[in-house]
Amino acid sequence: MLESVLIANRGEIACRIIRTAKRLGMRTIAVYSEADKNALFVQMADEAHLIGPPPARESYLQIDKIIEVAKRTRAASIHPGYGFLSERVEFAQACAENGIVFVGPPASAIKAMGLKDAAKALVQQAHVPVVPGYHGAKQDPEFLRQKAYEVGYPVLIKAVAGGGGKGMRRVDKAADFDAALESAQREAQNAFGDPRVLVEKYILSPRHIEIQVFADKHGNVVHLFERDCSLQRRHQKVIEEAPAPGMTPDMRAIMGKAAVEAARAVGYVGAGTIEFIADGREGLRPDRFYFMEMNTRLQVEHPVTEAITGLDLVELQFRVASGEALPFSQDDLAINGHAVEARLYAEDPEKEFLPSTGKLWALEFPEGEGLRIDTGVEAGDEVTPYYDPMIAKVIAHGATRDEALSRLAEALGETIVAGPKTNIAFLKKLCEAKEFRAGQFDTGFIDRNMDSLGAVAHEIDAQAVRLGVLKLIEHEFEERGYKAAIYEGPVPSPWGDHDAFQLSGPRREGMTIKVDGERTDAGLEWSLSASDDVDVVVRFGGGVSHLLGDYLPADPRRFVLTDDGVIVLSDGRQTRVAPHDPFDVDLEHANGGGTIKAPMHGKLIALFVKPGDKVEKGQRLAIVEAMKMEHALTAPTDGEVAEIAAEPGAQVAEGARLIVLKTEA
């Protein structure tokens, strides 16, 4: 076995790799950026080395620095994880040139599969079915429009250098083709420095089904069955499972063989994934699946394959990289049960999945049979704006699909996360969605069901606010030595019962409360009773809660104290309740104008107004890009631009003032 490994990655995947490497007796070497100095993976590794400032291009993407650390620490191998440098030809080459084993395929295989057009041409020669379309060199709009016509609408324009759904446009009719082409090319140029595109048939009722392959250096290539990754949002995977619902043994054998052929065609070594798109209009059919691309690395969703095969894919990667032959042949492999993975993200489904950052005030996962949690953070850590905001992968395994999905839903329900907003309630609803449970879904499922999945703006949770205020008071009273505990439930008689015992009539106190950072007026009344207990009633949104009474005590895990207040959890939703500081006057809004602040850390990529411009409420003023997504900032009121505080191209911090509007009033 290899003596040691440097992990050129961070977060959950770095932790996951370290775990296996340690089990195999390898020395583990982490590299980290300034933002990660206290991260879990840094603590777990035998040694850790700082490689630069937080932005990835100055740290995790620095090939020279990472190779330098590898040489200095005499690392026998480098595992690139996924993302970052994992599919960079130059990185694999640099490892080879420096005598370090790259735990991945040869640079030539990465290169061959790196561009979608070349990859399609190559696997087509190996008789692997590809999506009908044009993937040649010609790029003039007229020619491509003609090809789109021949292919037949709807078509998909894809950046040949694409990844992460960038530079991809669905076009439904000829009239829209030119505009879509232009914007796809522009996005591709910006994202990859390569504007070239291909045009292919848009597959209807598409199912994303991928095959995990493994190859060793002795010419053995096998597949480890399929994963279904059709639950997607903006072409990004949300929930993945194995095996695919509706897959037949025949079709699995045919797809598996095609995947193995594709891997052979590039002299593949190690773990790889062949992604196919299947036309699901009439269920899965062996003559209706097509190659999309090959990912020449370990995938985020590899745990579902591990769950159904009982294999450790990272261990296999190390064994293959050190020259061992695969310890099994295709016939030795079998599927055991069903596994599902959910990607738990710091993002706000109620605000178009805006990435959310900040401190994790609480983070607790359930444990149990058939459950696996892969995470790279713990309570007290910060979700920073610098990297992918995934908090954890929650993976459930069961004898049947139903069992696995129920187990996953239950685990999500028991998970406690407080701080950044998360998609946990959304994921749980997905696991419980009827059609999905019945295996009736395609890649458009999430988009079609946003409302029922709860991905829409919600009213303030009044009960959570009342409980939050009570918690704040309980905390305050505890400090003063009063006996107090939160109770919730039906309120049979708010005041009457206590009259006889009161030293004085209930005093009324007013308190201003911030809910999710916004001011509200929550009413608060309190009284002291003879028994030295305290009774407090909070009124908000027409309901009442008590701090004392014969009611059920509220689950203490639902309240997470923060530095300025409390976060109340209910059904995966978070309500932040904090006292409003009356001296924290909002001067920006004092004149009735509006200040447009950056909603998150990111880059100001476009500005559509200048000082003196008149704007209307709702008008687009600027675009901030964060975590690979663009967010438009609009005018909160009619007005005139009084000040512009940042220039396009600038990095902006969350809450930074960008534009100030002056209004007539």
Of residues 114 through 133, those in contact with ligand ADP by CB under 6 A are: 131
Q: Phi and psi dihedrals of 401, rounded to 5?
A: -60, -45
Query: Which residue type does 370 have?
Result: G
Angle between the N-to-C axes of helices 116-125 and 107-114, in degrees from 0 to 180, rounded to the nearest 10:
100
Among 208, 297, 421, 514, binds ligand ADP (CB under 6 A): 208
Is position 297 annotated as part of the catalytic site? yes
Is residue 141 near ligand ADP by the rule CB under 6 A?
no
Is residue 443 near ligand ADP by the rule CB under 6 A?
yes
Select from 641, 610, 612, 606 the least CA-distant residue to 625.
606
Greatest Cα-to-Cα distance within the chain, rounded to the nearest angstrom: 91
Helix H, strand E, coil C: the string for 532-560 is: CEEEEEEEECCEEEECCCCCEECCHHHEE
CA-based torsion, 333, 213, 345, 44: positive or negative: positive
**Distance in angstroms between the alpha carbons of the first and the last residue of the chain:** 74
For residues 30 and 128, which CB has a smaller minimum distance to ligand ADP in the complex?
128
How far is the C-alpha of 448 from the C-alpha of 419, rounded, in Å? Answer: 29
Among 2, 42, 128, 203, binds ligand ADP (CB under 6 A): 203
How far is the C-alpha of 480 from the C-alpha of 603, rounded, in Å? Answer: 47
Query: How many residues are there in the chain?
Result: 665
331: how many CB neighbours lie within 10 A of its CB? Answer: 7
The stretch among 45-53, 138-146, 197-205, 418-426 that binds ligand ADP (CB under 6 A) is: 197-205
For residues 227 and 546, which CB has a smaller minimum distance to ligand ADP in the complex?
227
Select from 284, 159, 271 the least CA-distant residue to 209.
284
For residues 165 and 523, which CB has a smaller minimum distance to ligand ADP in the complex?
165
Three-class SS of residue 48?
A: strand
The stretch among 163-171, 369-377, 385-393, 584-592 that binds ligand ADP (CB under 6 A) is: 163-171
Query: Which residue type does 125 have?
Result: Q
Q: Are strands 289-295 and 270-279 parallel, antiparallel or unpaired?
A: antiparallel
**One of 10, 16, 297, 372 is an active-site residue; which one?**
297
How many residues belong to the site for ligand ADP (CB under 6 A)?
A: 21
Is residue 441 near ligand ADP by the rule CB under 6 A?
no
For residues 152 and 164, which CB has a smaller minimum distance to ligand ADP in the complex?
164
Q: Closest distance between ligand ADP and the C-beta of residue 408, in Å?
A: 21
Of residues 241 through 280, those in contact with ligand ADP by CB under 6 A are: 275, 277
The stretch among 145-153, 195-203, 341-349, 631-639 that binds ligand ADP (CB under 6 A) is: 195-203
Among 81, 106, 206, 572, binds ligand ADP (CB under 6 A): 206
Q: Closest distance between ligand ADP and the C-beta of residue 176, in Å?
A: 16
**Residue tagged 């009033």 (tokens):** 665
**Residue tagged 């026998």 (tokens):** 76
For residues 229 and 554, which CB has a smaller minimum distance to ligand ADP in the complex?
229
Cβ neighbours of residue 555 under 8 Å, at least 6 residues apart? none
Is residue 105 near ligand ADP by the rule CB under 6 A?
no
Among 62, 232, 357, 415, binds ligand ADP (CB under 6 A): 232
Is residue 196 near ligand ADP by the rule CB under 6 A?
no
Is residue 171 near ligand ADP by the rule CB under 6 A?
no
The stretch among 73-81, 143-151, 161-169, 296-304 that binds ligand ADP (CB under 6 A) is: 161-169
The stretch among 156-164, 315-323, 407-415, 553-561 that binds ligand ADP (CB under 6 A) is: 156-164
- Paired tokens of 622: 């600027």
Query: Which residue type does 40 have?
Result: L
- Paired tokens of 156: 């998909």
The stretch among 172-180, 203-211, 258-266, 575-583 that binds ligand ADP (CB under 6 A) is: 203-211
Query: Which residues does residue 162 pair with via DSSP β-bridges, in sequence order?
Result: none
How far is the C-alpha of 320 from the C-alpha of 79, rounded, in Å? Answer: 13
Of residues 275 through 304, those in contact with ligand ADP by CB under 6 A are: 275, 277, 292-293
For residues 232 and 296, which CB has a smaller minimum distance to ligand ADP in the complex?
232
Residues serving a catalytic function are 297
In the complex, the residues that contact ligand ADP under the rule CB under 6 A are 131, 156, 162-166, 168, 200-203, 206, 208, 232, 235, 275, 277, 292-293, 443
